[in-house]
Structure formats: structure tokens, C-alpha cells
A = this chain, B = another copy of it.
Amino acid sequence: MRRAVIFTAKSTETPAVENIETLMGKYGEEGNQLIFKILKRGVHESTGEADLALRYDLTVPLARVVAEYRDKLPKVFKRYQIQPVWRADRPARGRFREFYQCDVDVLGSRSMVVEAEICAAVSDVLTKLGFEDFTILLNHREVLEKIMTVQGVDPSQLGDAFTVWDKLDKIGVAGARREWEDREIYLGAYDDLIELLYHDLGELRTEFRNGDNENWNEDMLERFPMAMGDSEEAHANQGLDELSRILEYAGRTSARGKIRLAPNLARGLSYYTGTIMEIKVEGMPSLGGGGRYDNLVGMFLGKDVPACGFSLGLERIIVVMTERGMFPADLVSSPADVMVTIWNEDSMNESIALAHELRATGLRVDLYPDADKMGKQFKYASSRGIQFVAVLGDDERARGEVAIKNMRSGEQRSVNRAEVAEELRKEKHS
């Protein structure tokens, strides 16, 4: 009863606050430290203990909720969810401590149709927003694990190896090699990985040229089994099969040509079990990511439920769209179609009544609250970008009229009181 979980036909909302145990240990070491923890209330407050925490992402709370409501949910449960999350991160460009995530998830199926549909949904959203140059990076945790262990990384060091490997993009081959060495991971494996996965590609950084993803992916689907030791077993690897299926299925959707196999994509969150995905737009940190987390619901339910999802970061998308001027100019509208002024104390009732009548016709009406000087009231309307101002002066009222001033053209004329709404409507559309 902290807050009701809200299910609609297509969306879910969960409370912002979760029990602290629900969140701890699900996001890796760094994640644990970035969770906002809430003090116990009442007499326990002085103990300094925390029992609750602010949601760090939408995925773990979803898994908790699915475990709790399993019997009431359909076998294949699809939902979207748009809610804020909190991370005690250092703020930076496009990185806030409170930000909205926009998630889609499908629970209940191991089919790669799910991954393909999720990639299509992400493509649809970004295309609708006006993005053309995005790429969905795709990799597979099991494939990465297999490749690394075959190349001699000690299984106990896989987590460390993933962390370094994931930074290849940012810190380059030499930088990642140094960090690999610092963490005392077998260096021969690193050199072999670079050789097998990237040799002859001439580029390590993910600089995308439109249309080259299909060739790149074909090439990668040959390099992956090589990096696994090029045996029959390597070629039949289930993770590899899943990656090719996704590419095949997604080719029938709007994600066609948008997906690129990214051998160095590892992602930080510890709950991923299979496919991992990330959105790349030139010059920006990731706009979002996702993947398969077949064991997460099981941590709450005691029985695994296959699951896969994707999360877009709303603020980052807004930052990029703002910087690129992608928002339509008329999106920031004026707060009202017309402002009704107040001529003097005696005419207040009439101004209020006019505002009320105009509103009832569906016009958006601002009512200036004080009998200030007209110039001041006009200035206010102007500063707020309100195009029309209605004045109920003594003369107008005596004649049963209202003066309408167009703040853009400066034109002013008197209109019969009963026809104000209609006149404004005409003007507005002229």
C-alpha cells in the first residue's frame, strides 16, 4: 500500500520507493553506491539506518512486481513505463541525478522475436522524433564470455574484463590494454581479442556510415566463431545463433539496417544474461540501452521468467534534440489565446464573467488579476506572448462592446460583447 502498482492495457507504473534489499546487489558495485537510501522514520530515525531506497532504474522494480503479480499477468507480459529514476551520480551534460526512463519490456518468452520487436519499437520512436543517424549496437553476454574464456581470461576475472572491454570505444586500444594489465588479467587474451575481432577493420571507434551495418554484421558473424576457436561447437553457439536470428527478424521491421554488432559492448548492469543493446548517436553518450535478463524475476519469485527490455533516457534525448534544433518552432506555445484585462475595481465582475464565458467556448483565457494601469496589463500580455487582449473600458461597456487589441499588429477594434468569442476564433485562424 506504499503506492498502488498501476496496470493499464499497455503501461505499468510502480512506486518510486522500493525496499532497500530489492535494489541492492542488482546493479553491480558502482550501482550500489549510486543508490539514494532513505532513513527509517520515527524513533528509528536516530539510528541512521536506511530501509528504503529510490528506484535506480525501472527494470528491477518491474521484476519485483512481475514476481508479485505473476498469477494475474498474461503469460507474455508486455508493458511500457515512463517514470523518473534517481542516481547519486556526478551531474554532467545530459546526466542528471533525477531523470526519466522510457522503458519497453517483454516478459515470458525466450524467442528472439522479442529482441527484434524491441529494436523495432526503439527505431520507431527515434524515427518519429526525427533521428536519422542512430544505430542500435548489439552484443551478447554469453558470446562475450565464451570468447574471453576461450582466449584465456580467468572466469573469476570476467567481470573486470567486461568493465575494461566496454571502455574500448572511449579510452582506445592502448588505454584499455593498460587498464587490462593493471587489473592483472591475462594480456595475451586482450591482444588476441583485438586481433581476431578488429584486425583489418581500420577503425575501432564506432564511427558509423549509413548503410554499412549489413556488411559489418556479416563480417562479425564470421569473426565471432573464430574468436571462439573456430570449431563446430563455436559455430553452433547458441548466443551466436540468437544474434543472427535477431538480425534476420529485425530485417523485416523498421529496425532494418539500424543494428550493428558491437563486439566491445558489455554494459555495466549485472543483471543481463544474454543479448545486450545500446543506442548510439554521433557525439553523445548512449541515449539508452537494454538487453535480456532471464534470471532477474527469479531472484524475487524463486522461478525464472525470461525477459528482455530497452530503456531510453528522456533528458539525453531532449538535450540532443535541443542542440540539433529538432523541436518544431511552434511547440512552445503561448499560455493563452486571449488575456482579459481589468479596467477598474467596479468592472471586475464583468471581466471575470467575460473570461468565464470565453473559456466555456474552449478558448484559452488568461485573466489579469488586478486593476493595474492598462499599459502594465498590456505589457504583461506582450511579455507572455499572448496575441489578443480584451478591454472592458467604460465606453465599451456602455455600448455593450469589448475592445480587442491584436498585440502583434497593434490593431484595435470594438466588437459586440456577444460576438467576442467568435471574432477571436476567426482571428486566431486567419
Q: Which residues of A contact B (CB under 8 A)?
A: 1-4, 8-10, 15-17, 33-34, 36-39, 41-42, 45-50, 52, 54, 74-76, 78, 84, 86, 88, 91, 96-99, 106, 109-111, 113-114, 116-117, 120, 124, 248-249, 252-254, 315, 332-335, 342, 348-349, 352-353, 355-356, 359-360, 366-370, 380, 383-384
Contacts and interface: CB of A to CB of B under 8 A. Distances in A.
Chain B CB within 10 Å, residue with most, of A45, A253, A315: A253
A352 B37 contact: no
A106 B369 contact: yes
Contacts of A369: 76, 106, 109, 111, 113-114, 117
19 contacts: A1-B96, A1-B97, A3-B98, A15-B97, A15-B98, A16-B84, A16-B86, A17-B36, A17-B97, A17-B98, A33-B42, A38-B54, A42-B88, A74-B384, A76-B369, A249-B349, A252-B352, A253-B355, A253-B356
A8 B380 CA distance: 17
A383 B76 CA distance: 11
Contacts of A120: 356
A49 B52 contact: no
A334 B9 contact: yes
A45 B39 CA distance: 11
Nearest to A9: B335
A252 B4 contact: no
B37 A2 contact: no
B76 A380 contact: yes
Contacts of A91: 1-2
A244 B37 CA distance: 49
| Shortest 10 CB-CB contacts between residues of A and residues of B | A48-B48, A1-B91, A3-B98, A252-B353, A109-B369, A111-B369, A113-B369, A252-B352, A9-B335, A41-B88
A353 to B, nearest CB: 4
A41 B49 contact: no
A349 B76 contact: no
Contact of A342 (B34, B41, B88, B113): B113
A125 B44 CA distance: 41
Contacts of A335: 9-10, 78
Given A39-B38, A47-B48, A252-B353, A370 B113 contact: yes
Contacts of A97: 1-3, 15, 17
Nearest to A357: B252
Contact of A76 (B76, B98, B368): B368
Given A38-B39, A113-B348, 14 more contacts: A2-B97, A2-B98, A4-B96, A4-B315, A9-B333, A16-B16, A33-B42, A36-B38, A76-B380, A110-B370, A116-B352, A252-B356, A253-B352, A253-B355
A49 B2 CA distance: 24
B98 A248 contact: no
Contacts of A370: 109-111, 113
Contacts of A46: 48
A39 B47 CA distance: 12
Chain B CB within 10 Å, residue with most, of A113, A114, A333, A349: A113
Contacts of A315: 4
A18 to B, nearest CB: 11
A353 B51 CA distance: 48
A37 B36 contact: no
A74 B380 contact: yes
A5 to B, nearest CB: 11
A34 B114 CA distance: 43
A119 to B, nearest CB: 11
B334 A249 contact: no
Nearest to A120: B356
